[in-house]
Amino acid sequence: MPKMTMVQALNLALRQEMEKDDRVVVLGEDVGVDGGVFRVTEGLIDLFGPDRVLDTPLAESAIVGMSIGMAVYGLRPVCEIQFSGFTYLNFHQIECHASRLRHRSQGRFTVPMVLRTPYGGGVRALEHHSESREVFYAHMPGLKMVIPSGPRNARALLVSAIRDPDPVIFFEPKAVYRAFREEVPEEEETMPIGRSVIAREGRHVTVITYGAMVRPTLEAAERLSREEGLEAEVVDVLTLAPLDDSLITASARKTGRVVIIHEAPRSYGPGAEITARLVEKAFYFLEAPVRRVTGFDVIMPLFAREQAYLPNPARIARAVKETLEAAA
């Protein structure tokens, strides 16, 4: 199996789906000749031409609004918004239409589109280029919100997202884009949207996370195992909405202790929803308060301070250890 970065794996997913299905078209700013500012769409315009890989004018609302029309027409548009910090310019198209047209038309029309966009910090970028605002989309009824964590699941989930009959917001952790390689099979691979996975098995504590935070969480778990003999179970949420809580609930019932990690701000963040689900469904199994290691409720600092903002293996390990030491 070839080893790929997430960028290469996403590119593979797009290329193969475009080869297989002429309903799939790619559009966005700089996605054609330039191959996307992160090169996720590199080479697609050479393979499929400018009729299927559209270098659009600079207008996020139009990119998404036009994608909605294309999807209603029967195509499978995959649009790229260059950074998630610019999706506010198309926010109403998602909230008012992409998520609602199936319902408004009572099933007559559907919007099988994917909005791909990089999110998250850690790459020393400009303002608006580092935030994690996945809850804005996870909160909307009628929408699927997917965040892969590595090359292999990114590829498989993007294929599933393209084939999904409903609109999918696909947040790509830009810090992971080229951070490491994984074996990614050339042959077709999909993953079900709406399911979480166990990224690491363990029996002492459950650590729930997703996206770019999966790697530092796994690193913390390995360190705790090596140095303390503590075995953390790491759950990779993968689909934030609709959230299937069966796996996180089962894991919490098994370990009785939970820590949630995300780089999004803490208040009303994904951790709040996950905690509420655990309180509703696993409260009597909990032996310690649920702990959150998250971004702070501040404007994301510029990059000189971003490492102080982001959760890291040391902070995660400390929180996990304290949760394990907490008396029931």
Partner 1 sequence: MPRTRLNLDIPLEFLSILTQDGLVDEDLEPDVPGELLLKLYRFMVLGRRFDERMLQLQRQGRIGTFAPIKGQEAAQLGAVAALEPRDWMVPCFRETAAQLWRGTPMESILLYFGGYDEGGRIPDGQKDLPVAIPVASQLLHAVGLAWGAKYRGTDEVAMTFFGDGATSEGDFHEALNFAAVYQTPTVFVCQNNQWAISIPRSKQTRSRTLAQKALAYEMPGIQVDGNDVLAVYVAAREAVERARSGGGPTLIECVTYRMAMHTTADDPTRYRSEEEVLQWARKDPLVRFEKYLTDRGLLSPEKIQEVASDTDAAIQEAVRRYEELAKTLGDPLQMFDHHFEELPPNLREQKEELKRLLAAEREEASHA
Residue type, 191: M
Q: How far apart are CA 220 and CA 225, in angstroms?
A: 9
What is the per-residue binding string for partner 1 in 179-218, x denoting contact by CB under 8 A?
Answer: ---------------x------------------------
Name the residue among 108, 205, 146, 141 with its Cα closest to residue 13: 146
Candidate residues 108, 229, 308, 328; the one interacting with partner 1 per rule CB under 8 A: 108
Residue type, 210: Y
Residue 321 sits in the site that holds partner 1 (CB under 8 A): no
Q: Would you state the structure tokens that stand for residue 296, as one six-digit string?
A: 């702070």
Residue 2 sits in the site that holds partner 1 (CB under 8 A): no
Candidate residues 9, 68, 213, 324; the one interacting with partner 1 per rule CB under 8 A: 68
SS3 call for 168: strand
Candidate residues 33, 46, 73, 276; the one interacting with partner 1 per rule CB under 8 A: 73
Side-chain-side CA neighbours of 43 within 13 Å: the count stands at: 12
Candidate residues 3, 105, 185, 276; the one interacting with partner 1 per rule CB under 8 A: 105
State yes or no: is 103 an active-site residue: no
Q: How far is the CB of 243 from partner 1 (least distance, A)?
A: 6
Query: Beta 205-209 vs 182-183: how paired, if at all?
Result: unpaired
112 close to 165: Cβ distance less than 8 angstroms: yes
Q: Which stretch binds partner 1 (CB under 8 A): 28-36, 148-156, 238-246, 319-327?
A: 238-246
Task: List the 239-241 sheet strands across, edge first.
Answer: 53-55, 24-28, 76-80, 114-119, 168-173, 144-146, 239-241
Candidate residues 43, 49, 141, 185; the one interacting with partner 1 per rule CB under 8 A: 141
Side-chain-side CA neighbours of 202 within 13 Å: the count stands at: 29
Output 54 or 191, the one with its CB closest to partner 1: 54
Q: How far is the CB of 149 from partner 1 (least distance, A)?
A: 21
Query: Beta 114-119 vs 168-173: how paired, if at all?
Result: parallel
Q: How far is the CB of 165 from partner 1 (least distance, A)?
A: 4
Output 85 or 216, the one with its CB closest to partner 1: 85
Residue 283 sits in the site that holds partner 1 (CB under 8 A): no
Q: How far is the CB of 325 from partner 1 (least distance, A)?
A: 33
Instruction: Give 165: exposed, middle or buried? Use CB within 10 Å, 0-12, 13-18, 19+.
Output: exposed
Binding residues for partner 1 (CB under 8 A): 25, 51, 54, 56-57, 59, 61-62, 64-75, 77, 92-93, 96-97, 101-110, 141-142, 144, 165-166, 194, 242-246
